């Protein structure tokens, strides 16, 4: 449901650095790459890596794409405006392993890493309103333990969607050797509370945490966005150490999610960057590990809903998130 994590406070929008639109920089990069003959690509990429030259020179890295992303898939290319070029399915993690600068690494690259996945909401929350409405302390203020989440107009629940994508994401990450922990998996009648969701990531010493959601706003509002933690310090909330790495994680996921799904950044917030900074989410405020939320689309928009109710699209969504995590973790 929108009230828990959808409306960014006015000040948050300004926290998204307007000088770092990841897709614009990607677009520039892709144009440069596309201008080169394929035979020159590997050498060019190596040069970029060795010298730090090019559009990535100024930190932070803007959701880097694999070197092989010049191999655009015509079908996917059409799915996005020019700012979000696609990548061929052939540039999967294993296919890209021969290029050192590829964002997606060889299989097993996450061995020894821990990723916590938080499927937003719970399909049982509707039946446990007293429990989920109890107030919990998120450091900066008090808030409901959890919310019901939204649904498509045909009744497909956000909590069903988030769990399905999370399970697909788990499989993709485990295939890379990661240890994966889900905050819940339909094994409890409601919740967990947002405080517990954060605690699970912290106690697992997760190298990355992703909370999976879908938005529920007016029809016509489309696209995905990543929610990044604001810098907050109040009570149990202290995000100073995770703001930087969480942004990098979010940028990586945004770039890869756009590539695998063909979705564009949200057209209704974030200024078209697909990135929003929020200071009102307990799941972010209480995290001590790099963490982002992803709102995969708008369930109340018929076109976005048609995608999210498709198992094939959900697999692409999970793969994009997984590729972003792999890139962030240095694969
Ligand atoms: Zn949600």
- The answer to the question of residue 75 being in a domain is no
Provide the pLDDT for residue 108: 76
Give the tens place of pLDDT for each residue, 275-301.
Answer: 999 999 999 999 999 999 999 999 999
317 in any annotated domain: yes
What is the pLDDT, as a whole number, of residue 36?
A: 43
Residue 163 lies in a domain: yes
> How are beta strands 114-119 and 291-298 bridged, if at all?
unpaired
* Residue 256 within any structural domain of the chain: yes
Give the CA distances from residue 225 to residues 206, 212, 248, 267, in Å, rounded to whole numbers and listed in that order.
22, 11, 14, 9
Residue 174 included in any domain: yes
11 is catalytic: no
Range of the structural domain that residue 323 is part of:
114-328
Q: What backbone phi and psi angles, to 5 degrees, belong to 22?
A: -60, -35
Identify whether 109 is preceded by a cis peptide bond (ω within 30 of 0): no
Which residues, given as ranges, of the chain have pLDDT below 50? 1-4, 6-21, 24-104
Ligand 1 mean position, distance from CA 77 (Å)? 29
**Residue 261 in domain:** yes
pLDDT of residue 5: 55
Q: From CA 14, how far away is CA 62, in angstroms rounded?
A: 18
- The tokens 């994680």 sit on which residue? 249
162 CA to centre of ligand 1 in angstroms: 8
Cα 293 to averaged position of ligand 1 atoms, centre (Å): 9
Query: For the domain that residue 215 is a member of, what is the CATH number?
Result: 3.40.630.40
Work out how many domains the chain is built from and give that number: 1
Query: What pLDDT score was predicted for residue 174?
Result: 97
Looking at residue 64, its pLDDT comes to: 36
Element (H, E) at 327: helix 311-328
Residue 185 falls within a domain, yes or no?
yes
Q: What are phi and psi of 319, to 5 degrees?
A: -65, -40
Question: Buried (b) or exposed (e) across 294-325, using 16+ Cβ within 10 A?
Answer: bbbbbbbbeebbebbeeeebbbbbbbbbbbbb
Predicted local confidence at residue 186, as pLDDT = 82
Is residue 88 situated within a structural domain?
A: no
Residue at token pair 């109890």? 134
User: Model's pTM, two decimal places?
Assistant: 0.72
Point out the catalytic residue in the list 131, 251, 295, 312.
295
């Amino acid at each position: 449901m929108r009230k828990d994590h959808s409306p960014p406070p006015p000040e948050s929008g300004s926290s998204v650095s307007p000088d770092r639109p990841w897709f614009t920089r990607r677009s520039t990069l892709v144009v440069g790459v596309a201008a080169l003959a394929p035979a020159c690509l590997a050498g060019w990429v190596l040069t970029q890596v060795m010298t730090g030259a090019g559009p990535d020179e100024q930190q932070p890295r803007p959701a880097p794409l694999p070197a092989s992303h010049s191999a655009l898939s015509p079908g996917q290319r059409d799915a996005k405006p020019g700012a979000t070029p696609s990548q061929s399915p052939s540039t999967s993690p294993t296919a890209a392993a021969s290029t050192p600068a590829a964002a997606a690494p060889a299989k097993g690259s996450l061995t020894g890493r821990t990723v916590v996945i938080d499927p937003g909401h719970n399909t049982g929350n509707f039946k446990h309103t007293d429990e989920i409405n109890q107030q919990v302390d998120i450091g900066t203020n008090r808030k409901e333990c959890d919310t019901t989440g939204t649904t498509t107009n045909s009744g497909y629940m956000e909590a069903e969607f988030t769990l399905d994508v999370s399970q697909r994401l788990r499989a993709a990450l485990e295939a890379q050797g990661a240890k994966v922990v889900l905050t819940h998996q339909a094994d409890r009648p409601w919740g967990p509370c947002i405080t517990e969701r954060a605690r699970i990531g912290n106690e697992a010493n997760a190298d990355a945490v992703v909370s999976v959601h879908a938005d529920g706003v007016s029809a016509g509002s489309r696209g995905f966005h990543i929610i990044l933690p604001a810098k907050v310090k109040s009570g149990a909330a202290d995000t100073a150490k995770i703001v930087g790495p969480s942004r990098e994680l979010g940028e990586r996921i945004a770039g890869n999610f756009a590539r695998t799904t063909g979705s564009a950044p949200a057209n209704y917030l974030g200024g078209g960057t697909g990135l929003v900074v929020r200071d009102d989410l307990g799941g972010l405020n209480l995290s001590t590990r790099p963490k982002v939320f992803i709102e995969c689309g708008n369930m109340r928009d018929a076109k976005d809903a048609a995608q999210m109710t498709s198992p094939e699209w959900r697999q692409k969504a999970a793969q994009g998130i997984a590729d972003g995590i792999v890139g962030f973790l240095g694969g």
